[in-house]
């Protein structure tokens, strides 16, 4: 695992990690089924916090690029290569853009949309008055 983390860089550490691992999967230096270093191991190698590495691993697992098998360690997902090209962000964007367009069409202020959005993210009802 030769991974270069740029602490001075602009993008967050966990994101850099995600990107680099994706890259290694795409250029075949990480084959499907291959074992990845443990969270603590990698954190130690790269001088990162465990949580930072853990966060990267969680995102990668959600996108089906890696697979964690509990105490047995973490492995590259069988369909990792294909799943590297799926763009979840684009779909999320489309969904939200559509809803926002509807709301704006109803004359809602951007400010009101943002407030309601924040409330909805917090699972709290919109308050009256």
> Whose CA is closest to 53, among 72, 71, 68?
68
H helical segments located in the chain: 13-26, 39-46, 50-62, 80-83, 88-105, 110-121
121 binds DNA per the rule CB under 7 A: yes
Site for a copy of itself in 51-110 (CB under 8 A): 59, 62, 87-93, 95-100, 102-103, 106-110
Using the rule CB under 7 A, which residue among 51, 79, 86, 108 binds DNA? Answer: 51
Number of residues that bind a copy of itself (CB under 8 A): 36
Q: Are 69 and 76 in contact (CB under 8 A)?
A: no
Residue count of the chain, please give it.
129
Residue placing its CB nearer to DNA in the complex, 90 or 121: 121
HSE-CB of 99 using CA atoms within 13 angstroms: 10
Site for DNA in 11-50 (CB under 7 A): 12-15, 36, 38-41, 48-50
Using the rule CB under 7 A, which residue among 74, 77, 80, 84 binds DNA? Answer: 74
Q: Determine the Cα–Cα distance for residues 116 and 123; give it in Å rounded to an integer.
A: 10
Positions that interact with DNA (CB under 7 A): 12-15, 36, 38-41, 48-52, 54-55, 57-58, 61, 68, 70-74, 110-111, 114-115, 118, 121-122
């Amino acid at each position: 695992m030769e991974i270069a983390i740029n602490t001075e860089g602009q993008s967050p550490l966990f994101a850099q990690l995600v990107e680099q691992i994706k890259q290694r999967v795409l250029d075949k230096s990480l084959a499907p089924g291959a074992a990845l270093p443990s969270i603590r191991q990698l954190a130690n190698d790269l001088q990162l916090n465990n949580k930072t590495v853990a966060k990267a691993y969680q995102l990668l697992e959600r996108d089906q690029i890696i697979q964690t098998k509990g105490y047995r360690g973490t492995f590259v997902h069988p369909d990792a290569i294909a799943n590297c090209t799926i763009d979840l962000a684009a779909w999320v964007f489309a969904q939200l853009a559509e809803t926002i367009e509807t709301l704006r069409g109803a004359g809602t202020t951007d400010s009101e949309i943002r407030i309601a959005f924040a409330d909805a993210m917090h699972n709290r009802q919109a308050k009256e008055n």
